[in-house]
Structure 1
Amino acid sequence: MNKAAIYHRPESEYAYLYTADELRLRIRTAKNDIQSISVIAGDPYNWQNGTWQKSANVVMKKTLVTETHQYWQASLTAPFNRLNYGFILTDSLGDSIFYGDQGFETLTSSSNDDSGLMGANNYFKMPYFQEIDRFKAPEWVKKTVWYQIFPERFANGDTSNDPSETLPWRSGDHPTAESFYGGDLQGIIKHLDHFSQLGINGLYLTPIFKAPTNHKYDTQDYFEIDPHFGTKEDFKLLVEKAHAAGIRVMLDAVFNHIGDQSPQWQDVIANGRQSKYADWFHIRDFPVRYTPTDNFEYTADANYDTFAFTPHMPKLNTANPEVQDYLIDIATYWIKEFDIDGWRLDVANEVDHHFWKKFRAATTAIKPDIYILGEIWTSAQSWLQGDEFSAVMNYAFTGSIVDFFAKQQISPSQMVHKLNAQLMLNRDQTNQVMFNLLDSHDAPRILTVANNNKAIVKQMYT
């Protein structure tokens, strides 16, 4: 028996409330090593004649398998909402062990006798089924098919708000951040029927707030729609018409950084250390400065933290209570005034957990079933405990799909193993609302990746 591969962690994705009274347990073992596992469980206060009494012996089911591990699962309930539990594992030779909070203990192989294991400290515990701590996913997201829109590129529905140097719509162009084609909110409104025909019931819009570039990730004013996209009345109409058509709307929150044209950063440039916004940013010394380089993007001598070495996006200090209040006011404003259904959180892993907890509390207080989606490209368990995000953009899923279907770099079994490993990182209710995508504005289009293999492209179109 490979004891080193056996793993369980209480109050995690290995032991969590799925519903108010259902505890789901997982345990990991080495692949092809264990023949059976059962869970012995009972109320921690159920003692008779000085002996703790178990009340359940549940056989676990084999679930997902990866290249190296097998996962098992069982569901338990408890009449008084608390449980002691441990695992009896039997290998292919018939040898059995008990696994609990204090590690492994040997069992008599012939009888699987667990009578000597009744000490309360030997068991994992769910001290109480706390409903307030249960991870709650928005039910509507489970059936949502999302359509991502980069508003400046999608459709030009109102030429009167076009930028002064709007380019003609054509394929093959290689635009910069300052190339404008006139896409706007009216263009999205005019295509709502088309979304419904496609079976789309969720729209994710990249930033729509006032900003100098076409991508709008360098926000100048979070409380204003960019005038090239339209007005607040246009956006309110978009949300109302989308809701009438059964379509939810999610906006992009860029709270890790702000644009260098924002009044807050401009005040720091003008007043240095005396600026009332000096502590809003991560600045090493004053005055703030950077030296432009040939590509105008990267600089080695900026004395303030930025997003991705981009000097035009100074990093916000979200540990500052004033910054927290400012950003939460933004988040709640667009929910209260426009009834948006979700926030996609840009560069979410570079913002502190303390702020995201406050963000969730504030937004769910207004709209309990709001979808909070973090942009995190790697494993994200620390953000997915139920007190921060609903889900993350599932780029690990993307990578496995692209590697198999588009690049043909892995086998079918390798793809399945990778997907299974990702599923076992999270609770079931988290997996049910993950934002699974094939590509995005931050990733090459899957057909572009597959283009080197004409057979794959042909399969995708037939």
Structure 2
Amino acid sequence: MAHILYNAWDSLYKEPFGAVKIDHEVVWRLQVFPDENEEIHYVNLILTKDGEEDVPYALENLNHDGLYQVKLQIGTAGLYFYHFEIETSHGRSYLEKRQGGMAQQVSSQSDLLRFQLTCFDEEVPSPKWYRQGVVYQIFPDRFANGLPNGEVQGRKPNSFIYGTTADKPYYIRDKNNEIVRWDFYGGNLKGILKKLPYLEELGVTTIYLNPIFLSRSNHHYDTADFLKIDPMIGNEDDLKELITEMHKKNMHLILDGVFNHVGKESIYFNASGSYGKNVGAAQSKESPYYSWFDFIHYPDDYKSWWGIKDLPVIDKDNPEYQKFIYGDSNRSVLSKWNNFGIDGWRLDVADELPMNFLRGIRKNLDSHHKQVMIGEVWEDASNKIAYDERRQYTVGDNLTGVMGYPTRIFVMDLLESVKSSQDIKKYCNEYLQLQENYPRDFWLNTLNNIGTHDTQRIKTVLHNDDNKVIQAFRILFNLPGVPCIYYGDEVGVEGDADPDNRRFFPWGQEKNSRIIQEVKQLVDKRKKNILLQEGRLGFVIARGSHCPALAIVRYDDQGNSVYNWLNLTQYKQIISPENGEYLCLPQNIQQKFQHELTLDSWEYKVI
């Protein structure tokens, strides 16, 4: 049987690499080496648009080096899958996807692992202030209090305020495990304003705020009124002052939009009637908000987010709700806050928002020249299926990027799960798959993290090992996408799952200056090196005397490169080019690794 070669990550076999824009030519090539006396009958590319029938395309024999080639222009945006079919005088075989862009020849087409091709309509906006910057995520109640003597404003009924900011977060629940007393520390917008010099010194250029709108809880994902800032957090004048001062410092602000659900105790639902004359959906079917919700049994049984009755889900296909959130009128929710001068939005549970709803949000943001629209999607966003629907996040007309939770998984895998070079290769190839699947601008807009309000703190995940925490930050800052620091991680704040991961920032009690100094250096290094902001990604795995060392390589099409070497162990490593394995790197970039290298315990070396 003929020997057949294909590698989707090698320009010999596919050009261009990765996702393509509509009407852009794509070239596929195979190398086919028949056995003696074996005749090639045909070589076909089998291309399938998601949900449609297979379409075969014949590859032409180029009559040199065993190469067969086909050129196509893809005219419709969306997700495509492909494999190859080859028939010779010895029979028929198929070429399916394997790890790292490689292909494997199989005899049956059942359950083929197909290659993916992402085709997009247009490049997404990629403002330099965002893509070349560093983001800092703040949970408003837990960062800083800027009022005199730490006064707590806007106190809520049926809640408690901690005796000191050093107290650990704690929920008071009833017998049904429902939270009945929300806890607060008193962080506010004035506190963030007061700490801008700290963030500026750290090198932060953008703040991403967890929700700030009126709600009953401390996390504010149970919105009570989209048009009001929670008085515990501040008021509209506080927000305007914060934005003004941030812009003076060339810093930018991204708000959290929670449009999938609201709080049970909101003006829209008003389950307990606490909003007086305002008639919520749970009070009357005549309420202007009644059609926003899906009642199973009125008024006590209704569709809620993941079955949490405190969070009634809204019908995003409701025209009145759409108009309220992103309508053309300046009275819509988005328009109101866009007019304050904010710089973008992060969208909570984006995979629960219909595509037409996301496109409506994008249209509103474009009309206000707001170019950042980051969706909370935890997986590969190019092929995400939610509620039995393939989500077309990467075609260019909705999200401009997503949160980089796969980056966090990659970092944890490298620092916690690696036992051999094969482990590293597996994790690196899995991560590189995103670079192939995402359009380039979408990929570089990814908001990467090693911790958020929804995860354990990185210090806790890595068992309080500062060497590993520092390596985690090094990996984060050297990968494509925009690095995002979860408040307090830079000073070694610990924390298990929610609510422990939402401790108050330990002002004046920071225990770890080593981590923050390293983070400052990484921020400065990234700002000064365009390859770390815009470059392509590849890896080198070099086998040393212990667990292999890893180089995160960033490079451009002109042949410029930077090798960021990481020793992932406590042992001294001596590595050489002869022992290097290269992943997704062109030959001219591979040649930059020419000399033996020594890495001390946990060392990070830039070449």
TM-score class, shorter = 0.7 to 0.9
Task: Find the counterpart in structure 1 of residue 459 from structure 2.
Answer: 447
Superposed, 1:325-336 pairs within 5 Å as: 325-328=323-326, 329-336=332-339
Q: Does 1:201 align with 2:205?
A: yes
Measured in 2, the distance between the counterparts of 1:326 and 1:74 equals: 35
Superposed, 1:377-396 pairs within 5 Å as: 377-381=378-382, 382-396=392-406
Q: Does 1:244 align with 2:248?
A: yes
Q: Residue 403 of structure 1 contacts residue 409 of structure 1 at CA under 8 Å; is this kept in 2? A: no
Task: Find the counterpart in structure 2 of residue 149 from structure 1.
Answer: 138
Task: Find the counterpart in structure 2 of residue 135 from structure 1.
Answer: 123
Measured in 1, the distance between the counterparts of 2:133 and 2:11 equals: 39
Superposed, 1:109-120 pairs within 5 Å as: 110-111=63-64
Superposed, 1:337-416 pairs within 5 Å as: 338-367=340-369, 369-381=370-382, 382-406=392-416, 408=418, 411-416=423-428
Measured in 2, the distance between the counterparts of 1:314 and 1:2 equals: 58
Q: What TM-score results when the alignment is normalised by the length of structure 2?
A: 0.56
Superposed, 1:4-403 pairs within 5 Å as: 28=8, 36-37=12-13, 60=15, 72=17, 86-91=27-32, 97=43, 99=45, 102-105=55-58, 107-108=60-61, 110-111=63-64, 124-127=72-75, 133-140=121-128, 141-158=130-147, 159-162=150-153, 163=155, 165-171=160-166, 173-176=168-171, 178-266=182-270, 267-271=280-284, 273-286=285-298, 288-289=299-300, 303-328=301-326, 329-336=332-339, 338-367=340-369, 369-381=370-382, 382-403=392-413
**1:203 and 1:222, CA in 2 relative to 1: closer, same or farther beyond 3 A?**
same
Structure with greater proportional strand content: 2
Deviation at 1:417, TM superposition (A): 1.4
Between the aligned residues of both structures, percent identity stands at: 25
Please, what is the CA RMSD of the aligned residues? Answer: 3.4
Measured in 2, the distance between the counterparts of 1:2 and 1:199 equals: 53
**1:91 and 1:244, CA in 2 relative to 1: closer, same or farther beyond 3 A?**
farther
Can you list the C-alpha shifts for 1:234-256, whole angstroms capped at 9, x where unaligned?
00000110111111100000100
Deviation at 1:413, TM superposition (A): 2.1
Deviation at 1:85, TM superposition (A): 5.2
Deviation at 1:332, TM superposition (A): 1.6
Q: Residue 211 of structure 1 contacts residue 219 of structure 1 at CA under 8 Å; is this kept in 2? A: yes
Can you list the C-alpha shifts for 1:280-337, whole angstroms capped at 9, x where unaligned?
0122232x21xxxxxxxxxxxxx2111122111100101000011111111121001x
**1:352 and 1:73, CA in 2 relative to 1: closer, same or farther beyond 3 A?**
closer
**1:324 and 1:170, CA in 2 relative to 1: closer, same or farther beyond 3 A?**
same
Q: What TM-score results when the alignment is normalised by the length of structure 1?
A: 0.73
Can you list the C-alpha shifts for 1:419-454, whole angstroms capped at 9, x where unaligned?
101222211111111000000000111110111767
Deviation at 1:412, TM superposition (A): 2.5
Size of the aligned set, in residue pairs, is 378
Uncovered stretches (5+) of structure 2, i.e. residues with no partner: 48-54, 78-119, 172-178, 271-279, 327-331, 383-391, 473-513, 516-607
**1:232 and 1:388, CA in 2 relative to 1: closer, same or farther beyond 3 A?**
same
Q: Does 1:431 align with 2:420?
A: no
Measured in 2, the distance between the counterparts of 1:439 and 1:202 equals: 17
Q: Residue 97 of structure 1 contacts residue 105 of structure 1 at CA under 8 Å; is this kept in 2? A: yes
